[in-house]
Structures are given as structure tokens and as C-alpha cells.
Amino acid sequence: MARQLKEKEAEVGKAVRHNAELEARAAQLSAEAQAWQARARAEEFTAATLQAQLQQAMMNGGGCNANLPDGDIAGAGEAEDAESAYIDPDRVVESTGPSCKACRKRAASVVLLPCRHLCVCTDCDAVVQACPLCLSIRSSSVEVFLC
């Protein structure tokens, strides 16, 4: 009888230790979850701030064709090159920026959030559910206008 009692006490002690370990692990996971939630809120705030700044810049004209301070139009002084201005149309490669990683036909003009990859065009933006580069699930997107 005493032996059975000691065995039961040992089982109870083992169960108590295991329970304490599980509670410690649960507390650790809860703290990690709170940290990730705080980081997600901070990233969402950053994304919202950047989107507001982008919209403000777009409303102010974007600055792509802005005049320089001395009155010259941007890029007008670049024609003073010593080389020929002739461009062979058969050898021209259009460089419109990064290509869309989904369709590979159009220029990438949409930044996916939260990963911040500039990797899809506006047409593919409506279709893709995950970033084609890192495969993270997208929460939203921002269209960018590259000069």
C-alpha cells in the first residue's frame, strides 16, 4: 500500500512539473504573440504613413516633370553629348523598369504589403493573393509611379 502511494505521489509530482513546463511555454508563446502583434501594428502604421505620403506627393504633382530651380526643364542639358544622337531603332531595348513577376509582360508598378516587393503590374495586382517573390500572403498594395 505504501509503495502504491509513493508511485502515485511520483506521478502527481511528474504531472505537476509537466504542467509547470507547459504553463511556462504558454506564457512564452503569449509574450511572443504580443510582440508580433505590436510589430504588425507598427508595420501597418508605417505602411499607412507611406501611403499617405505617396498620395500627398501625387497630389502635389509627383515631381517627375518638375522644373529645376534655374528654370531649365529636367533633362534638357543632357543633349550636349559628343556622340552621335542617332539611335538605331532595331537595336533599341526599352527599359521601363522592373518587369511584372506574375505575367512577365508589363512593367511592375505595384508594391505589395507587408513584404514591400515591387513585383507586379496593375492588372496582376487584382489577381495575385501572394507575393510572387517571397510567397508571403499580401495584405494590401500600393501603386507607384516611377519617373
User: CB neighbours of 146 closer than 8 A, spacing ≥ 6?
Assistant: 97, 107, 109
Same domain, 102 and 54: no
CA distance 53 to 60: 10
**Domain shared by 52 and 105, yes or no:** no
Q: Structural domain tally of the chain?
A: 2
Asked, for residue 72, whether it belongs to a domain, the answer is: no
- CATH number of the domain bearing residue 100: 3.30.40.10
- For the question of whether the overall pTM of this predicted structure is more than 0.85, the answer is no
Other CB atoms within 10 A of residue 35 CB: 10
Place of cell 508595420: 43
Place of cell 506564457: 27
Q: Is residue 77 part of a domain?
A: no
Do the domain assignments include residue 144?
yes
What are the pLDDT tens digits along the chain (147 aa)? Answer: 888 999 999 999 999 999 999 999 999 999 999 999 989 888 888 888 888 888 777 777 655 554 445 555 444 445 555 555 666 666 655 556 788 999 989 889 999 999 999 999 999 999 999 999 999 999 999 999 877
Domain that holds residue 5: 1-61
Q: Is residue 138 part of a domain?
A: yes
